[in-house]
Amino acid sequence: MSQITLNEVSCTLGKFELININAIINSGEFFVLLGPTGAGKTILLEAIAGFHTITGSIMIGDKDVTDLVPEKRNIGFGFQDYTLFPHLTVEENIRFGLKYRNISSEQADQRVRELISISKLEGFEQRKPDTLSGGERQRVTLARALVIQPEVLLLDEPLSALDEQTKEVLRDEIHRIISTFDVTTIYVTHDQTEAAMLGDRVGIMMNGRMIQVGTPSEIFYQPVNEEVAAFVGMENILEGTVTSSEEGITAVNINGSTLYVIDTYNMQKTVRVCLRPEDIILSQTPVQTSARNLIEGTVTRLSPYGTLIRVQIDCGYPLTVIISRRSMEDLHLEVGSVVYASFKASAVHIL
């Protein structure tokens, strides 16, 4: 495993530009590239693999690989669409990456057997790809990428074509298999659940730029700007004015209502604050809790949100809350209901 260093990496493909990407992916780290479709995630991954001409530089460990062809970079690559050879068996597909490597047939046999065992593919060795499920094909793809013992593993949306139940199982499998090899990994996805569950750190990409890098907690609870906040599900983004700030608590006036934030800001400064909808608790009465913020509002809309309910509230400003169906029934919520929204000062983030 090796550290990956990206220094001012830029690339132009048609009308799309990858612009001045700077990042360090630590040795052995599971690093997730997260962003909307068209952000440039796959292009950056392919640039690291050597498929595109770039300006800037790419280091793997202490080796500059900027001008090296892909096969000289010792990188394992797992594509979104599997790219397995349909005429080869599972065992032959996994072995293929070793074909042009200077290792003995005994070593090759041992590596293939090891990957088949770790990937739980015993009994599938002589099967062809078209007889496998999507999850099984993805495990073969991962095994083939790892059998060469790469310094770096690049995975491009490996779960995007799978159903939700298979995704959930395979997500854990991918993490388990990669952890066995302790390889530096960059994983591309637009799925925020995958990013939160798999990433040691997450890099947010938008419009060809790396906007923010941090732990999943930093990305999802401390976004650097409104665009990132909206993308990661901070549905409540509100503008207000700082009225006081002392002892680590800032009061922000939003349309006549005061919100408290754990932070320190200059007085009279206009700020934008954001709050995740799942961090808000609703009650029928103004219950005393450890939450510093307690706001009265009126329900304006109730909408299904998968197995949950999205509640829109008018508090003098719009507030979105996500609750369980059971909570909605217990609170007897309907349009026009008066409710109290409580949330901790630590749940509010100033952009």
pLDDT one-digit tens code per residue, 196-252 = 999 999 999 999 999 999 999 999 999 999 999 999 999 999 999 998 888 788 899
Contact between 66 and 7 (Cβ < 8 Å): no
Rounded Cα gap, residues 76 and 229, in angstroms: 33
Which tokens is 21 given?
């990407």
Angle, nearest 10°, between helix axes 134-146 and 164-181?
20
What's the whole-model pTM score? 0.88
Question: pLDDT tier at 54 (50, 70, 90 boundaries)?
Answer: very high
Contact between 238 and 225 (Cβ < 8 Å): no
Question: pLDDT tier at 81 (50, 70, 90 boundaries)?
Answer: low
Cα dihedral sign for 261, 264, 270, 276?
A: negative
Give me the residue spans of the domains in the chain: 4-230, 234-350
**What fold does the segment set 234-350 form as a domain?**
OB fold (Dihydrolipoamide Acetyltransferase, E2P) (2.40.50)
Quick one: which of 272, 276, 208 has its CA closest to 242?
Answer: 272
Q: Which residues neighbour 69 within 8 Å (Cβ) at sequence distance 6 or greater?
A: 50
* pLDDT, tens only, 90-124: 999 999 888 878 888 888 889 999 999 998 899 99
Q: Where would I find the H helices in the chain?
A: 41-49, 90-96, 105-118, 134-146, 164-181, 192-198, 216-221, 226-231, 325-330
Q: Is the confidence at residue 263, as pLDDT, over 80? A: no
CA distances (Å), origin 129, targets 116, 172, 272, 290: 15, 22, 51, 56
Give the start-end residues of each E strand in the chain.
Answer: 4-13, 16-25, 30-34, 55-60, 63-64, 75-78, 152-156, 184-189, 201-206, 209-214, 236-246, 249-254, 257-262, 270-275, 281-283, 293-305, 308-314, 318-324, 338-343, 348-350
Contact between 323 and 311 (Cβ < 8 Å): yes
Rounded Cα gap, residues 220 and 224, in angstroms: 10
Contact between 339 and 250 (Cβ < 8 Å): no
Rounded Cα gap, residues 253 and 134, in angstroms: 52
Contact between 266 and 242 (Cβ < 8 Å): yes
Look up the CATH architecture of domain 4-230. Answer: 3-Layer(aba) Sandwich (3.40)
